[in-house]
Structure 1
């Protein structure tokens, strides 16, 4: 408002020579100022993004997982699921890796990839470790186990968020991992349940659409409504204060001024229409209707994040549903107005990828209410975070053989016997022949059971390692 007043004064000074122009300029500037203030909401439009390192660190691990999965698909596409090191860079560049980046990835994550020598060709190959294959198989099993009813329910709620109750098949396919849908969801979910979904070929756009058959009113309950009920019962907040409010948790270092706090307080009490409600019959030209629609967009994105597996999705995926869900054009600027509800992380793809988190669903880098698919994905994250030193110790224990242990013991015995002969005095070699001395040593240091002793120790060590 101060800037507008300054511009008005400057205009008045420029028009001082024309007294009839002063009133018109002042009236125009103040009317335009009032119009700008009326069109805007109580929360400032442009806010500086404040980083939250907890979510950024999460995305750093997610970036590594994404590269590992890309390399995993490359290895599985090869014969016998092995890849020669000589062709590694050539094939890796096809999926977006830079020069020598694939080799560095192999050495950086020894718990996921291993390098071995072909027994016949004597050529170095790489493959996935047993631990990595086990974790990826567990994730696939968890994905298939939650298709019905979890993934089906997510898809139904996603279609109900659309104003036309349908979405493009290609847009849903791009975001299938976020909603826990399998790769062949078009056949295993959509066509498998014709009583719930149907595919439509549009002649106008020449695209396929997924449409929901019947709208279930039991599913038209937003996640924020359950949160409000829980907060009302837990903290005993006034019903009027919690009726249209959202949980707000600003990132560390976010400056909250007096007027901003008042603006948020007013915005929390602004009523809005539910994201599942049809608003086609309302007059949306009034200021009150625009405020309600703006808050409805916040509730729509909140519900969209709530039905994902990890309570997060990229901003580019949300942009695909923008027209169908009546979301604003500048999504990033719109989400930055509500940094207490959402967080946008730019980590993961050199700032080109924007991941939107639902702040209330996370605590100290983990989901507060995790599901089985999320837990299966987190195990692969934990495997990447293991120390490479532990991988070297594991390989040494596995590669330790009984014959090597027996050779070491024989070497110690020869050195011990030779030292005893050179020093002398401890054993009487003159009264006994060399054969007798050898027989005495073989009787005193009975190595007949050394194989069993060393084997028993090795088995105990391996057993302890497997238990770990």
Structure 2
């Protein structure tokens, strides 16, 4: 991290040495205060490494919804006619679902029924194994999920969050499908679940705040930088790791502005600031930097160090985040990256830049590795491109899916499918097609309108 500050310090010293006359020095100081602040509005500079990552993620979202649809059916298989009918409720056009499943032969197995003589679709053995591995990885880190939820509640001003908001983001935080029972109700010493009398909404409340959990991920990075690499304490104390995307232009005064911002003190995201006076300009600057640390900590709590901007918008009020989140994040493109790949640019995914290297997570976990197996199955090419359908001879399902526990694979899939009202999506665009058609993420029109208001 100390490498970030060396050129900035050298720039500031060289500028001051070049101005020897006193009148020029006074003029420079007056101009310095006006021009060395980070611009409020900046153009987004694309980083193709993250955009290519999102191209695969768009396909994964669509594949996951078709997988849930198939696993919710008896015997975990679906006829082509019924697949086409049900998939329209998810956003597919007529006959589009059949073409979609044929694009991924390593995930979906299209075969002719030996008796009915019609085409059926089911998941391949590789896909079932991948689902089972991901479920096992999620259940194996229940204790980590409890810790992540506790830290997430500690970031809130009221130490409580809406159950629905957490449920929507459960995949990003690595929570199991039944997290309401396995994570919340099973640990009454940490959480309390109650229903608001006026709104009739359920909320999760933290029973007791643990000071040992109130340490941000960036603080651990600073400590490692100082102890192991011998960085300058003055430069590291309030700094962040900054890595601008390729092609991002940084002038002399912009570097000085970054150097000043890195040294600016701020309150910890876990600190209660309700009793502080925020009317001064210095307090407002500290709160803005605190918002950067807040988003940084939220991304650090996720499994893949990324989350959609619409998810964070649900926590905006309870975590003192600015209204125009997109413009705010564009001011710090060296810390975060916003990808607009998906849903015609209306879905924004935020990446923590320091956590990735060449499109891969630097410190992967078991859940991340299991999910990347699905990405590998998606990118595998078709084995036989001369035939549109591959007809299989009659074989028993037990021989086909040996060593795969179908009951365990269907845990959560049936629950998630039954909980969601067919036709109502989780996120989407105003009056546009769903993510299955536009390579975005499903959502309802009402919820998208609400999220756009939160972001704007």
Q: Aligning the two structures, in what range does the TM-score lie when normalised by the shorter sequence?
A: 0.7 to 0.9
1:260 aligns with 2:254: yes
1:336 aligns with 2:295: no
Q: Tell me, yes or no, if the aligned pair for 1:249 and 1:340 is still in contact at 8 Å.
A: yes
Q: Tell me, yes or no, if the aligned pair for 2:36 and 2:253 is still in contact at 8 Å.
A: no
Q: Which residue of 1 aligns with 2:144?
A: 150
Q: CA deviation at 1:390?
A: 7.2
Q: How does 1:106-185 map to 2 (within 5 A)?
A: 106-147=101-142, 149-185=143-179
Unaligned runs of 5+ residues in structure 1 are 1-33, 402-468
Alignment partners' CA distance in 2, 1:77 and 1:187: 21
Deviations 1:239-273 (A, max 9, x none): 00000000000001101111111111100000000
In structure 2, which of residues 30, 39, 44 is the aligned counterpart of residue 44 of structure 1?
A: 39
Q: How many residues get paired? A: 362
Q: Tell me, yes or no, if the aligned pair for 2:38 and 2:254 is still in contact at 8 Å.
A: yes
Q: Which residue of 2 aligns with 1:232?
A: 226
Q: How does 1:363-382 map to 2 (within 5 A)?
A: 363-382=357-376
Deviations 1:337-367 (A, max 9, x none): 0000000001122212110000000001111
Alignment partners' CA distance in 2, 1:106 and 1:209: 39
1:105 aligns with 2:97: no
Alignment partners' CA distance in 2, 1:232 and 1:290: 28
1:209 aligns with 2:203: yes
Q: How does 1:17-28 map to 2 (within 5 A)?
A: none
Q: Tell me, yes or no, if the aligned pair for 1:248 and 1:340 is still in contact at 8 Å.
A: yes
Q: Which residue of 2 aligns with 1:300?
A: 294
Change (3 A) 1:386 1:257: same
CA RMSD in angstroms comes to 2.3
Structure 1 segments (4+ residues) deviating >6 Å: 390-393
> Secondary structure of 2:60's match?
helix
Q: Tell me, yes or no, if the aligned pair for 2:36 and 2:256 is still in contact at 8 Å.
A: no
Q: How does 1:5-24 map to 2 (within 5 A)?
A: none
Q: Which residue of 2 aligns with 1:195?
A: 189
> Secondary structure of 2:338's match?
strand
Q: CA deviation at 1:233?
A: 3.0
In structure 1, which of residues 265, 268, 280 is the aligned counterpart of residue 274 of structure 2?
A: 280
Q: Which residue of 1 aligns with 2:51?
A: 56
Q: CA deviation at 1:95?
A: 1.1
Q: CA deviation at 1:80?
A: 1.7
Q: Which residue of 2 aligns with 1:11?
A: none
Q: How does 1:243-254 map to 2 (within 5 A)?
A: 243-254=237-248
Deviations 1:315-358 (A, max 9, x none): 00000000000000000000000000000001122212110000
Q: Tell me, yes or no, if the aligned pair for 2:76 and 2:122 is still in contact at 8 Å.
A: yes
Alignment partners' CA distance in 2, 1:203 and 1:115: 50
Deviations 1:155-190 (A, max 9, x none): 000000001111111111111111111122111111
TM-score w.r.t. the length of structure 1 is 0.74
Alignment partners' CA distance in 2, 1:325 and 1:391: 52
Alignment partners' CA distance in 2, 1:145 and 1:345: 31
Q: Tell me, yes or no, if the aligned pair for 1:345 and 1:354 is still in contact at 8 Å.
A: yes
Which is richer in helix? 1
Q: Which residue of 1 aligns with 2:321?
A: 327
Deviations 1:22-78 (A, max 9, x none): xxxxxxxxxxxx9xx99x992110000000111111111111111111001111122
Q: Tell me, yes or no, if the aligned pair for 1:111 and 1:391 is still in contact at 8 Å.
A: no
Q: Which residue of 2 aligns with 1:12?
A: none
Q: Tell me, yes or no, if the aligned pair for 2:36 and 2:254 is still in contact at 8 Å.
A: no
> Secondary structure of 1:83's match?
strand
TM-score w.r.t. the length of structure 2 is 0.76
Unaligned runs of 5+ residues in structure 2 are 1-29, 396-456
